[in-house]
Amino acid sequence: MEKKLRIGIIGAGRIGKLHANNLVNSVPEAEVAAISDVYLPGAQELAENLGVKKIYDDYTKILQDPEVDAVFICSSTDTHSIISKEAAQAGKHIFCEKPIDHDLDKIKEVLSEVEKAGVKYQVGFNRRFDRNFAKVKETVAEGKIGDVHIVKVTSRDPEAPPVSYVKVSGGIFADMTIHDFDMVRFLSGSEVTEVSAVGTCLVDPEIGKAGDVDTCIITLRFANGAIGVIDNSRQAVYGYDQRIEVFGSKGCVTADNETPNNTTLYTKESVSKEKPLYFFLERYNDAFIEEERAFVKACLNGTDTPVNAFDGLQPVLIALAAQKSCDLGGVPVKVGE
């Protein structure tokens, strides 16, 4: 049997469980060697289900374990950057859920430590691994639509999160649009240089009272001269709406929503098809597995990860600019200012 990557899962919440289960069931080159959670029973239950032996309530035990090659940081957002740094110092390869941090300085410290340690670092922008979006990227990269002129992302959640969540989320741009900011970088193959954002509160007035918006449109300029637009809503009652379009000098390529099945029902009343898959767990199920495989492969083969720490930094910079633009009523703001 070939060499496996021995992985420690840090954080046994929803996303930690998802990664642990996928690694065990769908990534043969990976072995989940240890699980930690500050809430020990959570770690225990997950470990038992998956037959994992080492269980801790302190992630530093995982970092000290010489039989762990890599970690998945699935703990709360405010711990991502500090654990990233410590894991790098401990020589572990790192898969970190997004965002690395909301604070630019902390992200830059992570970049610095990762570079110093020479470990692999991958950020959890799983949508890049969606089969449809990956094909769009491939089509663009192969030049089939020529030079990129316009990048469009439609990204709407099926329902708004509770206001308690919104209050600590960092705002819609840092919490939700950040995935779309990564997507436009990925698709265009170019950096975002300037953004302008208009936002409003149409879904839930409580979100507005919490100082956030729930509906917004963000216009972007790219270093290569292209322009782009993202539209977001916290609530699309028909399901998770995730579509992209890249338009260029030689054509256009689009990716549509995924549905539970492709049947069509014709009746006296209507012709109906299935609604989009409900939310990210359904829609990006396969994409999560693909990103895990990509990370494991990069670690085992010593190749580059497909979404590195720099890719974790840039969307945060864009989100900050978008938030500033939105606060200013839509005035264009340079990214990195």
Task: Give the DSSP H or E segment for 82.
Answer: helix 80-89
Residue 280 within binding range of a copy of itself, rule CB under 8 A: no
Cα(158)–Cα(155) distance, integer angstroms: 10
Q: How many residues does the chain have?
A: 337
Q: What angle do CA 31, 33, 36 make, to 5 degrees?
A: 130
User: Minimum distance from CB of 211 to a copy of itself (Å)?
Assistant: 18
Residues 175-234 that bind a copy of itself (CB under 8 A): 194, 196, 198, 200, 202-203, 215-217, 219, 221, 225-229, 231, 233
- What the block records as the tokens of 167 is 């209050």
Site track for a copy of itself across 18-57, x = CB under 8 A: -------xx-x-------------------xx-x------
- What the block records as the tokens of 302 is 């010593």
Nearest to 19 by CA among 290, 308, 309: 290
HSE toward the beta carbon, residue 93, CA cutoff 13 A = 24
Out of 3, 250, 301, 337, the only residue in the binding site for a copy of itself (CB under 8 A) is 250
Site track for a copy of itself across 151-170, x = CB under 8 A: -x---x--------------
Out of 23, 33, 63, 236, the only residue in the binding site for a copy of itself (CB under 8 A) is 236
Q: Which amino acid is located at 186 in the chain? A: F
Site track for a copy of itself across 307-336, x = CB under 8 A: ----------------------xxxx----
Residue 238 within binding range of a copy of itself, rule CB under 8 A: yes
Cα(280)–Cα(333) distance, integer angstroms: 30
User: Minimum distance from CB of 203 to a copy of itself (Å)?
Assistant: 7
Identity of the residue, 199 or 312, whose beta carbon is nearer to a copy of itself in the bound complex:
199
Identity of the residue, 86 or 274, whose beta carbon is nearer to a copy of itself in the bound complex:
274
Residue with tokens 């239950």: 45
Residues 63-102 that bind a copy of itself (CB under 8 A): none
Out of 268, 301, 302, 337, the only residue in the binding site for a copy of itself (CB under 8 A) is 268
- What the block records as the tokens of 61 is 């035990």
User: Minimum distance from CB of 56 to a copy of itself (Å)?
Assistant: 21
- What the block records as the tokens of 316 is 């945060």
Q: Kindly report the backbone phi and psi dihedral angles of residue 215, in degrees, each rounded to the nearest multiple of 5, phi listed first.
A: -140, 125
Residue 271 within binding range of a copy of itself, rule CB under 8 A: yes
- Residues with Cβ within 8 Å of 331's Cβ and at least 6 positions away in sequence, in order, are 196, 325
Out of 3, 66, 105, 267, the only residue in the binding site for a copy of itself (CB under 8 A) is 267
Residues 95-134 that bind a copy of itself (CB under 8 A): 131-132, 134
In the sheet with 121-123, reading across from the earlier edge strand, the strands are: 54-56, 30-36, 5-10, 70-73, 93-96, 121-123
Identity of the residue, 168 or 328, whose beta carbon is nearer to a copy of itself in the bound complex:
328
Cα(91)–Cα(175) distance, integer angstroms: 29
User: Minimum distance from CB of 179 to a copy of itself (Å)?
Assistant: 18
- Residues with Cβ within 8 Å of 205's Cβ and at least 6 positions away in sequence, in order, are none
User: Minimum distance from CB of 336 to a copy of itself (Å)?
Assistant: 17
Identity of the residue, 168 or 331, whose beta carbon is nearer to a copy of itself in the bound complex:
331
User: Minimum distance from CB of 149 to a copy of itself (Å)?
Assistant: 5
